[in-house]
């Protein structure tokens, strides 16, 4: 195995797109964005001979409350996880590299799923039990802090529109038509619409009780990806007033629904149903074959806070995919356990902050 440190954006993205299931959180653009917000990105390619067989965009961040840093490979590394021998070699290389960086731990959360918990159309590997066993045998631990959603809802775009509509729950189809009858119009958004979209997003956060980041963070994320052609904003309007919005990210064959927002007013017009339908149609038109609705409950119980959103995604025709989740390699065990004590307290402090006022972040 040869490990190559890549510093050229085109070389990195081209290599990543040639690997199975390339994820936008492993893209060059995502690493650059995170580097403007406290992280440092290092891109590593793993070669067998002249063939690139794996890639890992590793983010490093120094923790403010401990004299140590952590390493994180968001939705990676990218490789053929069905080849366990190669996966073991990549893990060994990453373990060694993390020791050389003297980090407290390395976190990965690859797109690997359980055989009984992944739709048959999904191209993502369904070998989670075997990979969990491999990780455990190498000293990795299932992470108590799951940065991304472990589970998600997937929609197969490799079929005609008529089949996509037929796969929806009848109530969802009805609400799409209802929104159109009541005058809701969906239009593409531009950079000039980001302030309006953030206002809707902040309103959604106050209503639903989830914390969000400051305005500048989102303007950077949305703006840079819009300019790069990897993000696509859709706004639903009624009588010229924006009442809901949706931000779609695309990379390779996949579209991800990362951000959705709606105003308290006019919710009876069902703008979110029409927004999703138009985003799906757009993703299919630009060549995407998979629509990732990004997030589903860990526990499939109606008491879960995500249950209402989960039912909405299933109504769209999506199917649950249950993932392997994030795993940690404790490079420095004592510091790792200190981090495991400190990180939840820090996150709980963030969650206890007062609600946003006026969308200022």
What is the structure's pLDDT at 177? 96
Q: In the prediction, which pLDDT does 83 show? A: 97
Which of 90-99, 126-135, 299-308, 314-323 has the weakest average pLDDT?
A: 299-308
Q: Does domain 154-321 have CATH number 3.40.630.30?
A: yes
The two structure tokens encoding residue 149: 């959603």
Instruction: Give the residue-averaged pLDDT of 87-112.
Output: 95
- Predicted confidence (pLDDT) per residue in 123-138, tens digit: 999 999 999 999 999 9
Residue range 196-250, pLDDT digits in tens: 999 999 999 999 888 888 999 999 999 999 999 999 999 999 999 999 999 999 9
Determine the 3-state secondary structure of 215 from DSSP. helix
Query: What is the C-alpha to C-alpha distance for residues 25 and 59, in angstroms, rounded to an integer?
Result: 11
CATH of domain 2-149+324-352: 3.40.630.30
The Cα–Cα gap between 100 and 247 comes to: 38
Quick one: pLDDT at residue 346?
Answer: 57
pLDDT class for 355, splitting at 50, 70, 90?
very low
Does residue 357 surpass a pLDDT of 50?
A: no
pLDDT digits (tens, 9 = 90+) for 331-349: 988 888 887 776 666 555 5
d(CA 177, CA 188): 19
Does residue 66 carry a pLDDT above 80? Answer: no
pLDDT at 201: 96
As given in the structure block, the two tokens for residue 181 are 């009858």
340 touches 171 (CB < 8 A): no
Torsional sign, CA 226, 232, 237, 242: negative
Query: What pLDDT is attached to residue 348?
Result: 58
> Which of 288, 213, 274 minimizes the C-alpha distance to 243?
274
Interior/surface letters 22-32, b for 16+ CB within 10 angstroms, e for the rest: bbbbbbbbbbe
Q: What is the pLDDT of residue 345?
A: 62
- The candidate with the shortest Cα–Cα distance to 260, out of 353, 173, 167, 198, is 198
Q: What's the burial of 50, exposed, middle or buried (CB within 10 Å: 0-12/13-18/19+)? A: exposed
For residue 11, how far is the Cα from the chain centroid?
Answer: 23
Q: How far is CA 275 from the centre of its chain?
A: 19
The rounded Cα 312 to chain-centroid distance in angstroms is: 18
Cα distance between residue 252 and residue 23, in whole Å: 8
Is the per-residue pLDDT at 28 higher than 80?
yes
Q: Which pLDDT value is given to residue 358? A: 32
Whether 181 contacts 341, CB under 8 Å: no
In whole angstroms, what is the distance from residue 265 CA to residue 184 CA? 13
Q: Which residue has the tokens 């308290």?
A: 264
Q: 186 falls in which pLDDT band (50, 70, 90)?
A: very high
Q: Where in the chain is the domain with CATH 3.40.630.30?
A: 2-149+324-352, 154-321
pLDDT in tens, 252-284: 999 999 999 999 989 899 999 999 999 999 999
pLDDT at residue 263, as a whole number: 95
Averaged confidence pLDDT in the chain:
92
Helical segments of the chain, H only: 9-17, 28-35, 84-100, 128-137, 161-167, 170-181, 194-208, 215-228, 271-285, 307-315, 333-352
Given this model, what pLDDT does residue 350 score? Answer: 47
Least-confidence region, from 32-41, 183-192, 198-207, 296-305: 296-305
Its pTM stands at 0.92
Pull the structure tokens for residue 223: 């703006």
Residue 124 gets the label, from left (phi > 0), alpha (psi -120 to 50) or beta, of beta
31-45 pLDDT, tens per residue? 999 999 999 999 999
Quick: pLDDT tens for 10-22: 999 999 999 999 9
Sign of torsion over alpha carbons 135, 15, 35, 199: negative
Q: Is the pLDDT of residue 301 over 80?
A: yes
- Confidence band for 356, pLDDT divided at 50, 70 and 90: very low
């Amino acid at each position: 195995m040869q490990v190559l440190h890549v510093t050229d954006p085109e070389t990195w993205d081209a290599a990543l797109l040639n690997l199975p299931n390339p994820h936008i959180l492993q893209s060059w653009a995502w690493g650059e964005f995170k580097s403007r917000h406290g992280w440092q990105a290092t891109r590593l390619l793993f070669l067998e001979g002249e063939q690139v067989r794996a890639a890992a965009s590793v983010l490093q961040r120094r923790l403010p409350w401990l004299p140590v840093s952590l390493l994180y490979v968001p939705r990676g590394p990218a490789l053929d996880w069905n080849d366990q021998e190669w996966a073991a070699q990549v893990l060994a290389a990453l373990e060694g590299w993390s020791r050389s960086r003297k980090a407290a731990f390395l976190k990965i959360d690859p797109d690997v799923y359980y055989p009984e918990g992944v739709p048959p159309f999904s191209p993502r590997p369904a070998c989670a039990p075997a990979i969990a066993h491999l990780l455990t045998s190498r000293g990795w631990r299932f992470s108590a802090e799951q940065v991304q959603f472990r589970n998600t809802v997937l929609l197969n775009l490799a079929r005609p529109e008529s089949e996509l509509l037929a796969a929806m729950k009848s109530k969802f189809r009805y609400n799409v038509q209802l929104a159109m009858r009541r005058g809701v119009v969906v239009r593409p958004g531009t950079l000039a619409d980001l302030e309006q979209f953030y206002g809707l997003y902040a309103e959604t956060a106050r209503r639903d009780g989830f914390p969000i980041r400051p305005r500048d963070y989102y303007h950077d994320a949305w703006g840079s990806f819009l300019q790069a052609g990897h993000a696509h904003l859709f706004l639903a309007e009624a009588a010229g007033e924006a009442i809901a919005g949706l931000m779609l990210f695309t990379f390779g064959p996949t579209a991800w629904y990362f951000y959705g927002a709606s105003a308290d007013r006019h919710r009876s017009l069902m703008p979110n149903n029409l927004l999703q339908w138009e985003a799906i149609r757009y993703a299919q038109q630009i060549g995407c074959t998979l629509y990732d609705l990004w997030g589903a409950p860990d526990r499939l119980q109606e008491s879960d806070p995500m249950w209402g959103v989960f039912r909405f995604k299933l109504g769209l025709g999506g199917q649950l995919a249950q993932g392997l989740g994030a795993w940690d390699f404790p490079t420095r065990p004592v510091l790792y356990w200190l981090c495991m004590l400190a990180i939840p307290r820090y996150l709980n402090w963030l969650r206890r902050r007062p609600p946003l006022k006026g969308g200022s972040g």
